[in-house]
Amino acid sequence: MRIGLISISDRASAGIYIDQGIPALRDWFTSALSSPWIMVTRLIADERPAIEAALIELVDLEDCDLVLTTGGTGPARRDVTPEATLAVATKEMPGFGEQMRQISLKFVPTAILSRQVAVIRETPDHAALIMNLPGQPKSIRETLEGLKDADGKQLVAGIFAAVPYCIDLIGGPYIETNPSVCTVFRPKSALRVQPS
């Protein structure tokens, strides 16, 4: 699987501070995925044309199956990630944004200010799932992984539980995860028997 990671930050892209979004995503996927994967990254400013261009490049030219953005999803004037994401979309996937806000509301009431979206971008021979994630490393992990109690029992499912099946449905690779981090949900008819 090819995963595109885009960190959207005026200050990090200008070198004022070190980006935390891409390292947080890289670390999470390293622990969560048991399938082989390749990471393609971009660090860009909060500029809608740049965000749109990066999304198109990662899907159309880099053949990423999944593209995740961090940053730029709030109500501030420079927060334009959702608009850029919707502009390159073929289909909107509203359930992901709804679930991301539900997870974040367990921690902070300001989660309702988030405008995260998820979409499918299709080309004639390829399709990818694009999702906007929060900008903070802790929030990124909680959004992807969900909420667990002290014994590790899942209380609220993270959004990544549904991502592999979504990628199956759009013609991407079959993705497996480390169940101690994130358990994938697929209908029984979509399960593949893996060689032992």
pLDDT (tens digit, 0 to 9) for every residue of the chain, 196 residues total? 999 999 998 888 888 888 899 999 999 999 999 999 999 999 999 999 999 999 999 999 999 999 999 999 999 999 999 999 999 999 999 999 999 999 988 888 999 999 999 999 999 999 999 999 988 899 999 999 988 888 878 788 899 999 999 999 999 999 999 998 998 999 998 888 654 5
- Full domain range(s) for residue 117: 2-190
CA angle, corner 93, sides to 5 and 75, nearest 5? 70
| Residue 107 belongs to domain with CATH number | 3.40.980.10
Structural domain contains residue 195: no
pTM: 0.93
Rg (CA), the chain: 16
> Rounded to an integer, what distance in angstroms lies between the CA atom of residue 27 and that of residue 110?
26
Structural domain contains residue 95: yes
Structural domain contains residue 60: yes
**What is the H or E stretch that residue 94 is in?**
helix 94-105
Structural domain contains residue 127: yes
Total structural domains in the chain? 1
Structural domain contains residue 105: yes
Burial 142-160 (b: 16+ CB within 10 A, else e): bbbbbeeeeeeeeeebbbb
Structural domain contains residue 171: yes
Structural domain contains residue 196: no
DSSP bridge partners of 20: none
CA angle, corner 63, sides to 62 and 67, nearest 5? 90
